[in-house]
Amino acid sequence: MRKLIIIFLLIPLWGSCQREVLGINKNGRDQVTQPVLIITWGESNSGGYADNGFASGDELAPRTLPILNNNTLLFQPLDVGTNNLIGHTGLTCCTTHGMEIGLANAYEDGDFEGHPVYLVKVGQGGSTIAEWETTDDHYDTMVVRLNAAIEQILELTGQVPKIFVWGSIGINDRIAGTTTGTFKTAYKQFITDIRATINGITGQSHVIPFLFTRFDSMPTNLAYETIFGEIDSEVSDCYAVSTLGADLKDGNHWQYAGFILFVPSFITITITYL
């Protein structure tokens, strides 16, 4: 039986829509706008199979967006090609990328209106939804990273961040023949589980928006697309994001331009909660 380490933080609660900045923390840090933590989760597209060679020199240089180094479990500036794809099963560090370039571009363009943004990548290539139950190794690894990320943001800013999950999973299940009913039930359970885990780590109970990709830019199983829409409509604060027209590297993975096309949709939804 795995051991789950939960960090309980003695911080006052605030409502899911509250925008008021908390006061000075116990270490005397000045007030700052509430930080944002974005978690990218799922299969290979959550890590990203897009070739780095399509990105610009500026996009490949160290960025202002902090990413959790999955080896050291410390935040450092995103540096695509160095620290953006560490510990992601099935993908080599770090010749490819995913949603992080589009996120870093938006962050540096000021789209987050002064909110400090942090990124932690917890996905695993080749995974199916059945491998993300709370008793599985993938889930254990994810929890370790989330604990480290949330604890450091609290230390850096004096605040618990507003937390979002950006997901992408379903291709490996379709290939494996997972029935749509089984997939839907397990997907909804994962959303429930990760929200409970995050609230357990923070010691709070607040809205954790869950955004995830459709696969309508790819040859796909239309029944799965129907399931994505049902999850969107049945689960609160859950959004199935269109990827229609996104450029492909192959039949199952987006290329650089594909991510650049649909990541802004994730950002648009995200900032409505800030």
Average pLDDT, the chain: 90
What amino acid is encoded at 71 in this protein? N
What share of the chain in percent tops pLDDT 70?
A: 88
Query: What is the C-alpha separation between 40 and 36, in angstroms, rounded?
Result: 13
Asked if pLDDT for residue 22 goes beyond 60, the answer is no
CA angle 191, 14, 74 (to 5 degrees): 60
For residue 185, give both structure tokens. Answer: 């039930």
| Mean pLDDT across 30-48 | 90
CA dist list (Å): 90 to 96, 125, 233: 12, 5, 32
Place of tokens 């609290």: 154
pLDDT band, residue 221 (cuts 50/70/90): confident
- 192-201: long-range contacts, CB 8 A cutoff, minimum separation 24: 193/133, 193/134, 193/139, 194/41, 194/142, 194/165, 197/4, 197/134, 197/143, 197/146, 198/146, 198/150, 198/163, 200/6, 200/8, 201/6, 201/7, 201/143, 201/146, 201/147, 201/150
Query: What is the C-alpha separation between 244 and 259, in angstroms, rounded?
Result: 11
Helical segments of the chain, H only = 44-47, 57-60, 100-108, 137-157, 171-176, 180-202, 222-234, 256-271
Nearest CA among 109, 123, 97 for reference residue 42: 123
Place of tokens 């994505």: 228
Query: What is the C-alpha separation between 1 and 186, in angstroms, rounded?
Result: 20
CATH architecture type of domain 36-271: 3-Layer(aba) Sandwich (3.40)
What amino acid is encoded at 198 in this protein? I
pTM above 0.85, yes or no: yes
Q: Give, to the nearest 10 degrees, the angle between helix 100-108 and helix 256-271.
A: 50
Give residue limits of the domains in the chain: 36-271
For residue 152, give both structure tokens. Answer: 């450091």
HSE of 158, CA atoms in CB hemisphere, 13 A: 13
What amino acid is encoded at 113 in this protein? E
Query: What is the C-alpha separation between 5 and 90, in angstroms, rounded?
Result: 27
| Mean pLDDT across 36-55 | 98
Q: What is the pLDDT of residues 132-181, one digit of tens each?
A: 999 999 999 999 999 999 999 999 999 999 999 999 999 999 999 999 99
